[in-house]
């Protein structure tokens, strides 16, 4: 996937870097997402549930990018 993204957007970097650049994400977003994931994981664990990365991502995108 990275080679195609580099070709399409005529840039270097990992796919994460390229997507972040194209979406105009702030530089600190990765750290913020890790903090949010940690909070989510702790919350569901207290509820006796297992953290579900797919559910987390779907909910995060629905709440923060409603037009996607």
List, as one string, the DSSP characters of the chain: -HHHHHHHHT--S-HHHHHHHHTT--TTHHHHHHHHHHHHHHHHHHTT----HHHHHHHHHHHH-TT-
Q: How many domains does the chain have?
A: 1
pLDDT tens digits for 3-23?
Answer: 999 999 999 999 989 999 999
Residues of the domain holding 38: 2-64
pLDDT tens digits for 42-64?
Answer: 999 999 999 999 999 999 999 98
Q: How many residues does the chain have?
A: 68
Which residue matches tokens 């080679």? 3
d(CA 12, CA 59): 30
């Amino acid at each position: 996937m990275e080679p195609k993204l580099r070709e399409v957007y005529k840039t270097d970097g990992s796919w994460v870097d390229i997507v972040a650049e194209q979406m105009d994400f702030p530089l600190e977003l990765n750290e913020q997402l890790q903090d949010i994931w940690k909070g989510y994981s702790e919350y569901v664990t207290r509820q006796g549930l297992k953290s579900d990365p797919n559910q987390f991502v779907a909910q995060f995108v629905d709440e923060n990018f409603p037009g996607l």
